[in-house]
Amino acid sequence: MSAAFRVFGLNLLKTNRNLTQNISRLNNAALASTNLQSQCSDYSTETVQAAPLAIKKQKVSKAMKAYLERAQEHDEFMKTQHLEYHIGKRHLANMMGEDPETFTQEDIDNAIEYLFPSGIYDKKARPAMKNPDEVFPARKAAEFDETGRPFHSMFYTGNPNFYKLLYDIVEEINKLYDLDERMLRRGQKPDPNLKIDLTGFSWVSKEVLELRLVEKISDIEYNSFTATMERLVAHPYSYKCKAFIDNYTKALMDHSSQLEIPKPHIDEEGRQYITTYECLRKTARGDVTIRVPGTGKITINGQDITYFEDAQPREQILFPLIFAEMLGKCDVEANVEGGGSSGQAGAIRWGIAMCLRSFVDQEMIESMRIAGLLTRDYRRRERKKFGQEGARRKYTWKKR
């Protein structure tokens, strides 16, 4: 009986031990699965919050770095200049008793001329206060980014702004061609009265174009520009892009409009007259007086036009009267001394042309200016050179 109980007890112990081992194994497995899940969750969190891949640093070249430094210095310098200009403008306006807000550049020039009178002949040497944008030339902006990639699509042409201008001109021409085709389909024709006339105008000079483009261009490139613009103007519908054309033209009448034309005086007989002094040509000096109305009488040193024996000096005197259509409508009185017949005739001719400005319209004045009647002739006789027979002539060379 005791032996039976002993066997039963041993079996019960074995069973309990097996159960305990199974429970511990289950606990270990559960713990392992929990750790695995926590590790997986940690891994997923780390995957989401992981730092992105390292971006490769883009190197900035030394040339680009130096350019950026110079550009920053230039911008700071221009800001300082603009600030000083506006402060000086306000002070100048207060000195002249004007409103600083409405004080224009013309007012500044007049104030400078009044406060600082100068007898220096060259106007560039006189005191002046201009906007810094006019004094300091414009700088060309960076044409590429920090990685070296150019901004402009025509960067590799060498002159991107110039070739972009040519591209724009061709675009305008193509637009006019398309317009012409559409009008032809409708049976319409261009208005000949609206055709662009460039008489009295010219294209901007090469120097002005270079300042606008901030690029240096060659003579061949400038000729290509003018030829392309002429092609644009020659189109019958060129008046459609007149605003574009006006950006690259300049008027030739600006100079004549700035010339001060004197007003005629009235003499005892009630006739208008004007006198021009210091009529110069070579060593000849004289003064000319024109009276309107007149009969065409010409008096030179108390004599008539036969004062000159040759026909060429007489033609020189009559030319401005014929050109201005004033021959026989006015009287001319001239006093001249010094020089020969050519110099005296040239001096009288210039004096007559300058007097006629007071009796003709602005269009005739411009025509006279283009013909060269209002331009002084400063040419002089060239001196004889040492070792030569004359100014240019050499002695006859003899071999023996």
Burial class (CB in 10 A: 0-12, 13-18, 19+), 326: buried
Cis omega (within 30 of 0) for bond into 293: yes
How many whole angstroms separate alpha carbon 274 and alpha carbon 259?
16
**Residue 128 structural domain:** 62-135
Q: Is residue 164 part of a domain?
A: yes
pLDDT in tens, the chain (400 residues): 445 445 445 455 556 566 566 666 655 655 555 554 554 444 444 444 444 444 445 566 666 677 677 778 888 888 898 899 999 889 988 888 888 888 888 888 888 888 887 767 677 777 888 888 887 766 666 666 666 677 777 877 878 889 999 999 999 999 999 999 999 999 888 888 888 888 778 899 999 898 888 888 999 999 999 999 999 999 999 988 988 999 999 876 544 444 678 889 998 888 999 999 989 998 999 999 999 999 999 999 999 999 999 999 999 999 999 999 999 899 999 999 999 999 999 999 999 999 999 999 888 888 888 888 988 888 888 889 989 999 999 999 888 7
Same domain, 163 and 243: yes
CB 314 within 8 A of CB 273: no
Residue with tokens 């400063």: 378
Residue 315, CA distances (Å) to 161, 217, 319, 323, 367 in order: 52, 45, 6, 12, 19
Helix, strand, coil percent content, the chain, rounded in steps of 5:
55, 10, 35
> What CATH code is carried by the domain that includes residue 301?
3.30.230.10
Same domain, 295 and 350: yes
Same domain, 210 and 282: no
Q: Is residue 39 part of a domain?
A: no
How many domains in the chain?
3
Same domain, 215 and 281: no
Q: Is residue 276 part of a domain?
A: yes
Give φ, ψ of 120 to 5 degrees. Answer: -70, 135
77, 104, 135 — which closes off a domain?
A: 135
For 147-244, strand residue ranges (E) read 201-203
251, 276, 293 — which closes off a domain?
A: 251
Same domain, 95 and 177: no
Q: Is residue 131 part of a domain?
A: yes
Q: Is residue 377 part of a domain?
A: no
Q: Is residue 197 part of a domain?
A: yes
Same domain, 247 and 269: no
Q: Which of 100, 85, 135, 93 is nearest to 115 (CA)?
A: 93
Helix (H, G, I), strand (E, B) or coil at 286: strand
Q: How far is CA 95 from the centre of its chain?
A: 33
Global pTM value: 0.43
Same domain, 184 and 123: no
